[in-house]
Structure 1
Amino acid sequence: MVKEYDFLVIGSGIAGMSYALKVADQGSVALICKTELEEANTFYAQGGIASVTNLKVDDFDKHIQDTLIAGDWLNNAEAVARVVRGAPSQIEALVNWGVQFDKDKQGEFDLHREGGHSEFRILHHKDNTGAEIQQSLIRAIQQHSNIAVYEHHFAIEILTQHHLGVEVTRRTPGKECFGAYILNPETNQVDTFLAKVTLMATGGVGAVYKTTTNPLVATGDGIAMVYRAKGTVKDMEFVQFHPTALFHPGDRPSFLITEAMRGYGAILRNCAGEPFMQKYDERLCLAPRDIVARAIDSEMKSRGDDHVYLDVTHKDPQQTINHFPNIYKKCLSLGIDITKDYIPVAPAAHYLCGGILVDSDGQSSIKRLYAVGECSCTGLHGGNRLASNSLIEAVVYADAAAKHSLEMFTNYNFKNEIPSWNAEGMRSPEEMVLITQSIKEVNQIMSTYVGIVRSDLRLKRAWDRLDILYEETEDLFKRSYASREICELRNMINTGYLIMRQAIDRKESRGLHYNIDYPFK
């Protein structure tokens, strides 16, 4: 079946939904969600969203400087300025869509401070800011008649000249996107979605790691699809591990203990109860995430422990509960009263700073294909993301992409000669066993060899092992019916390869990428 829309949005987090809302008045929109609308990285973002709002003590230059320092000066300065200066207007847009940020008794935003920030500038809603944003945008989406939501649909490949029989390389000028092949798992049919503009907003890659705070739908789908379509992908080696995921073996994803808790005054302690951050950074527990995660990793390895502790017991109990009700409730369900007990924590894969390379308008190297949010690489984060900069980046670049694509989409005719998906293939009873086992192998390879601390030897081992899985999976994909499971495995292997390959290419330790063969200078 062929379906035609003005705009095709693949992904339903803050990036995809805010873009859809901004273009829907000008044309028809298909919003593709591979599970349900709430199942996005945005929903799980606890801490908040960064923006300069208190001009009495804060300003844009301070936020810009903090972002550059955290990014180890690998940031794109233009992208940093665009996001920081564009943040207040996009906060206003979120409020207009119904987002309720916490306010103080004077009616001003109740601002938090997080690691790497020199001022209090984090807007939040309790300790579930992402859920508040996600639910508010879902309500706005559901009220817009021009937006067709396709839940439980899975994008397999984007459509380019390659599907017209044209040989395409990464250097081919004028590569163009016409839409995507979309699988409906309920019917097992692959439909052709044609669109004048396609937006990739598929989120991150955390599920390629064994331990992650991301929902398990974060399998790098958009990045893998664009890479296979010969688009440019950059900075994949910079994977941010959140320092403080709740340590509870067997949980996947791991429950996040927000960085705002350290901004609130929580102290990191080793398993002997000793504070240790003074050994690693003068900013102590409020150092940027890459430094804190490596410090925890070092402390765990030197002592042979599998976690450290986060201590908030010295703070006022009722104030703690009021600030972090969901964390309090979650920990209490596991027998941990955070007002009296230390919280066991360990680092977990959390955020990708690289992705599909885009320009200042959010456009990729493939014409009429935009990428926004965690799957994109705007250059804002450089080598390491400053806490709470990601949600604001998503809405600022969604706005830029909307404005640019609205100028382009009217002068476009569909490529009607695009063939339907080849549905031939078969499925053997052992296929799911192979897929499940291969996913576990990818997780083990990435966590063991391409984690917080890397080396040339570890990366070479990752290369050798991923290459075997790649060959096996591609052969299985060619012989099988299209399924979400085989496509996700394929995407995870492609994404793991990109992280590993670009980590090999960076012959230095910088930002989130730490290689013991090229230690920090």
Structure 2
Amino acid sequence: MNVIVVGSGIAGLTAALHAREAGHSVTVMTKGAIGDGCTGYAQGGVAGIYGANDSAAQHAADTIAAGAGLSAAAAVEVLVRDGAARIAELIARGVAFDRSPDGELLLGREAAHRHARIVHAGGDATGAAIAQALVAAVRRAEVTVVEGAFLADVIVDGGIARGIRIVVDGAASDLSADAVILATGGAGHLYAHTTNPLGATGDGIAAALRIGAAVADLEFVQFHPTILAEGPAFLVSEAVRGEGATLIDATGRRFVFDTHPDGELAPRDVVARAIARQAARQGSPVQLDATMISRPRLADRFPTIDRITRERGFDWASEPIPVTPAAHYLMGGVVTDLDGRTSVERLFAVGEVARTGVHGANRLASNSLLEGAVFGARAAAALDAPWPHPPLVAHSDPANDTRHEDGADSDDADARITVFSRAALQRLMWDHVGLLRSEDGLRHAVATLDRWLAAAPEPTSVADREDANLLLLAEATASAALARTGSIGAHFRDPLAAPLLETV
């Protein structure tokens, strides 16, 4: 079988390796250089190794609790059941996870996990270690890699995915395939502030939307609570709080306990909103205080963070550092079954581009790398299986309906005068479809995005195509958020929500 994998993070490369090992002809198409995606940026680890008094069942329970009860139980069961095997596979492929002097895997704890069950590599460089090992494995395998290939569209004929249209060096071409696996990652650049690399522009989800593939849960966008609030976006791992660091306001008070009894180790959406509100109240970023952790421990456990904070003028071993939330992870995406199959025959989706149902309304920390490995392998194993009929469809939850009332806020003067640009879209999404959302703000966002869509020219360059993808996905995301009238997980309705400070 001729298989095209679009994307080269943990999900795409795992799928490619498993497909090749099963005897398929595999081509990996990647927008930048191979391994350039979000995987390499991941400071956190991979959940799924259980010590004393822990179990897969407890990991599943924590996943569902963090997802506000909206996680698909069957998908969570697959995740925790297959997790240990995928971690063992990563070790076999060369990932050197951190170990104790006696050779045991070191297990860390992060927010909303009841136990330490997370493996790391290089302290805070897990993603980079995984990306390096998987890229090397793909290079050794007989897998064709095409770098600098932008996904323009998925080609569908007779309701079946037949290949993809790509743009390389400005020239478009069509490539045929027996199966297409989307592994294009998320869409952090919908927002003015994000942890994601520049390539995270929602290309795979937008391509799926254009061919009518089912999508769901786009309203659930996770904002990482702690990004260094000086210089370019740099994530300060949740594991730092797992080691004992605290969040304090301008007076030195640990304010997150006002919102949740678990304080800094509450679910990410809770902590991020608490930080945003506190920063807005005091007119400046809150601070992460890691001074109770010894200097040698900080340098040993978090070498990358230690280096970057010092480069930006902070000595975090002796003084708190300013932090702010930023868009981090999209829980929704292209709807798949437990084997990565979408509603379009022969089209698979794995990793952040997919909506497997694992994450529900809020992703549990360190489940994303695990999900990519688990479902990437499962999609490859399903390549030879008969396609299920009737085809997969999205859940019927009316709050997930991305439709909205025609003409919502059609007389909004601000919407009429705003001129589209990527920066304007990102600010609109940050202000009105971000951490804190209101009915009026969402209606304004949808009306503005609808007008921009109606006036959008045909894209010509890759940058134009990225902007078109962001615009299409922004409208779908804002519409989904408008349709879901209640607050749950990362989707939080606040009648008094106003645009956040630029520092937040």
Output the CA distance in 1 between the equivalents of 2:339 and 2:149. Answer: 27
Q: Does 1:282 align with 2:265?
A: no
CA deviation vs aligned residue, 1:459-485 (integer Å, no higher than 9, x gap): 111112112221232x233xxxx3211
Output the CA distance in 2 between the equivalents of 1:18 and 1:399. Answer: 6
* Aligned AA (1:303): Q
1:323-338 equivalent positions in 2, closer than 5 A: 323-338=301-316
TM-score w.r.t. length of structure 2:
0.90
SS in 2 for 1:30: strand
CA contact (8 A) 2:49 2:119 kept: no
* Aligned AA (1:192): D
CA deviation vs aligned residue, 1:274-329 (integer Å, no higher than 9, x gap): 21112111111111101100111111122222x11100111111011100111010
CA contact (8 A) 1:507 1:518 kept: no
CA contact (8 A) 2:50 2:56 kept: no
Residue 134 of structure 1: which of 121, 128, 131 is its match? 131
CA contact (8 A) 2:6 2:28 kept: yes
CA contact (8 A) 1:438 1:469 kept: no
CA contact (8 A) 1:52 1:84 kept: no
Q: Does 1:368 align with 2:351?
A: no
1:178 — aligned with what?
A: 162
2:246 — aligned with what?
A: 267
* Aligned AA (1:206): G
CA contact (8 A) 1:23 1:406 kept: no
* Aligned AA (2:487): S
CA contact (8 A) 1:509 1:518 kept: no
1:415 — aligned with what?
A: none
SS in 1 for 2:201: coil
Q: Where does the alignment leave 5 or more consecutive residues of structure 2 unmatched?
A: 388-418, 498-504
CA contact (8 A) 2:228 2:323 kept: yes
2:174 — aligned with what?
A: 192
Residue 41 of structure 1: which of 35, 38, 41 is its match? 38
SS in 2 for 1:405: coil
1:300 — aligned with what?
A: 279
CA contact (8 A) 2:420 2:452 kept: no
SS in 2 for 1:24: helix
1:51-450 equivalent positions in 2, closer than 5 A: 51-54=48-51, 56-125=52-121, 126-145=123-142, 147-161=143-157, 175-185=159-169, 188-249=170-231, 251=232, 254-305=233-284, 307-407=285-385, 438-450=421-433
Output the CA distance in 2 between the equivalents of 1:504 and 1:65. Answer: 29
Output the CA distance in 1 between the equivalents of 2:33 and 2:162. Answer: 25
SS in 2 for 1:511: coil
* Structure 1 residue 190 displacement after superposition: 1.0
CA deviation vs aligned residue, 1:332-383 (integer Å, no higher than 9, x gap): 0011011112111000000000100001111000000000000100100000
- Aligned-pair identity (%): 38
* Structure 1 residue 517 displacement after superposition: 4.1
2:480 — aligned with what?
A: 502
CA deviation vs aligned residue, 1:160-208 (integer Å, no higher than 9, x gap): 12xxxx7xxxxxxxx21001101102xx221111000100000011011
CA contact (8 A) 1:384 1:512 kept: yes
Output the CA distance in 2 between the equivalents of 1:503 and 1:210. Answer: 18
CA contact (8 A) 1:44 1:131 kept: yes
CA contact (8 A) 1:9 1:31 kept: yes
* Aligned AA (2:197): P
CA contact (8 A) 1:236 1:352 kept: yes
Output the CA distance in 2 between the equivalents of 1:75 and 1:128. Answer: 28
1:511 — aligned with what?
A: 489
* Aligned AA (1:111): L
2:390 — aligned with what?
A: none
* Aligned AA (2:428): I
Output the CA distance in 2 between the equivalents of 1:437 and 1:334. Answer: 33
* Structure 1 residue 78 displacement after superposition: 0.3
* Structure 1 residue 518 displacement after superposition: 11
SS in 2 for 1:476: coil
* Aligned AA (1:90): R
Could you say if the C-alpha distance between residues 21 and 408 of structure 1 is closer, same or farther in structure 2, counting changes exceeding 3 Å? farther
* Structure 1 residue 437 displacement after superposition: 6.4
TM-score w.r.t. length of structure 1:
0.87
CA contact (8 A) 2:5 2:28 kept: yes
CA deviation vs aligned residue, 1:95-148 (integer Å, no higher than 9, x gap): 111111001122111010000000000100110100000011000011112x11
1:463 — aligned with what?
A: 446
Q: Where does the alignment leave 5 or more consecutive residues of structure 1 unmatched?
A: 167-174, 410-435
CA contact (8 A) 1:246 1:345 kept: yes
CA contact (8 A) 1:52 1:63 kept: no
SS in 2 for 1:345: strand
CA contact (8 A) 1:508 1:518 kept: no
Output the CA distance in 1 between the equivalents of 2:354 and 2:458. Answer: 29
Output the CA distance in 2 between the equivalents of 1:408 and 1:184. Answer: 33
Output the CA distance in 1 between the equivalents of 2:74 and 2:273. Answer: 29
CA contact (8 A) 2:163 2:179 kept: yes
SS in 1 for 2:453: helix
SS in 1 for 2:270: helix
Output the CA distance in 2 between the equivalents of 1:224 and 1:386. Answer: 25
1:13 — aligned with what?
A: 9
Could you say if the C-alpha distance between residues 318 and 505 of structure 1 is closer, same or farther in structure 2, counting changes exceeding 3 Å? same
